[in-house]
Structure 1
Amino acid sequence: MPPRPVQTAVAIQKDVPFYVETFGNLSALVNVDIKSQVTGKILQVHFKQGQRVAERDLLFTIDPSEYKAAVDKAQAVVRADDVDMKMKKDTLERNRGLATKELVSQQDFEKYETDVEAAGAKTTLDKAELALALINLDYCSIRSPVNGVTGKVLVDPGNIVLANNGPTLANVKAIDTLYVDFTVTDRQLQAIRSAMAAGTLKAEVRVPDDGKSYVGELKLIENSIDNTTGTISLRAIVPNEGNALWAGQFVYVKLILGIEKDAVLIPYSAAQLGQKGTFAFVVTPEGKADLRILTTGSRQGDDIVVEEGIKGNERVVTSGQMGLSSGVMVAEVPTKKQS
């Protein structure tokens, strides 16, 4: 029988990461619903929908007329308080000398002292009212609390909005850095916790149909396992330079737990599934096929880690396994050595 033609590749050894693969969703690091803190009519919208805004950028203007009038009134009251306080202090000082000569009764003098204290208390109260009026006037200019991206304008100019309990006017999301929320099984938890105790864990994020990876760090393991699903939630943070990623996006997540030194890798196409588990054919020095039962590890791109069954530099069959068995002579059609 002539030798069976097969394609082969060399099993290589190199350091590879071992990891947990799952999927998750991106969310904004800061997600703010913009609401009015004063009641009034919206006069103007100062941004375009979907626009990037900086912290303190003006978003909406609420009609300030009523609140400016309240400030003017409060300022006038404080000025009147200052005049009244000066008069009462002058009266007290004029009567202080008379009281020592008993030309003014002690009761009247104590009343002058009480008048000064009462005027001081009223001044303090009215200054607080002025401060509150100034705060409300400032609230008429609604500003972005964060650097981020705006969503839709949800309430148009001309509408009356209520303070605090009114509708959301717009939403601003900070997306220069994003959360990545994902789940793993409870069986994977201990390995993740052990790896996290040894140092910061990297999380590689990839969008479907996009070959680029974005690297972040694991920041949170939730404090309980979901008993209904047997999973636990994790959260990583990933930088989003250029805003290539978007809040709400579905992503693949690869959580790197560590590095496996001198791991043996073979092409994924060499690993076959049989009744006894995963196997591969190795070409012996005599040119014969040798079936090996494998213990495999993580997938590494187009390769797979072999923990038991094959050694580095052995040649494995990558194509032509159909009908092949141990002891059969093979004719190799070599492929390029992996790198």
Structure 2
Amino acid sequence: MSRRPTNPNGVRFNRRPYVHVDSATVRDTRISYKALGLLTYILDQSENWQVRSEQLSRGEGREGRDAVRKAQHELAAAGYFRLERRRFLNGQCGMGTAVSEHRVQQWADDYEEFERSLTIPVVEQEDGSFLVKYKDGRLGSDGFAPDVDAPPAEEEEEDAPAPPDETEAPAAEEKTATELKAERAAAARKAAAEKKAAPAKPNTDAPADPEQRAEKPEAAERPAAPPSGKAAAKAAAAEEKAAAEKALTDAAETVARWWWADAEEHLGVYVGAKGGYVAVRKMIHSALAKGYTQRDCADALRHARKHWPSAQQWQDALGYATKGVMPRAPHGRVPYSDSATWGTGQNLPGEQESSTPEDTSDDATFGIIA
């Protein structure tokens, strides 16, 4: 994953360390075959390559600059492509490109937020990542996945926002467990009181002579026998099992808290049925118990793109995240249509009524600006 370019004014690729195009991208009906071809060509370039519509329009078999610009706007509206006006920590500014092999909803939202402009301003952070700077001065996610092998670290979890409408979900479970423990304790006290109040049974084995009874040592004074080796092993196994379950529960809670905050940022505030957060945590717990890693679960949740995916969506997403298996479309292949693919002559998003768009963002010089 290339969150920052090797060259300050090079391309930032939102992809894995090998060239490929996701099956979902190939089948995305939001973009035409022309735009898909342009995206594939850009993904095949090196990080130091600079994307210019004028350069892309040159050569045999190319459609021309206006056609390339239309395809760029089409990709930007769908969340695959954008230009970035980057401000670095050293105060310098540069112009570069961001391209993704899979659809990024945040990029599509930013395209609309900045009035369908290809150019998006971003600001470099201390860890080398970038945040989008909006017109009102706030900073937001740039849509790139974190460069880690697991969800946020422990020190970052303390600042994670509580899940909306579900902030009391974990506390409710703890309260229930506490109440259950209190009920069991009360029942034990009641049983002990009843046993104490019951008349004692005569001891037929006790000697009739009080002196003989006094000479016989009481059973209560005898030292308790040490636990057998089998009992000790059983107790140790139970303790080990409890520790493993606690570690599994903590890991599931870590992934669930990260996903709830990430989903709220990229998909919006959750307004579904109550219990969604707890249900997602249980699904993650079950996956971890079956041998999936925290990273597998995180990738699967990102792929499912649901606050609370169904059981089948969760299984499909895990299969895609670990095996690269794309589930079959429920209705088969989409039939080909010229009008749906190439349009009927109307301008694509981001264009004016004239055939030549007025936005000339990519005409800026790609490089460091003092």
- Shorter-normalised TM-score: what interval? under 0.3
- TM-score where L is the length of structure 2: 0.22
Q: Larger relative contact order (C-alpha < 8 A, sep ≥ 6)? A: 1
More strand by share: 1
Q: Which has the larger radius of gyration?
A: 1
- Pick the structure with more helix per residue: 2
TM-score scaled by structure 1?
0.24
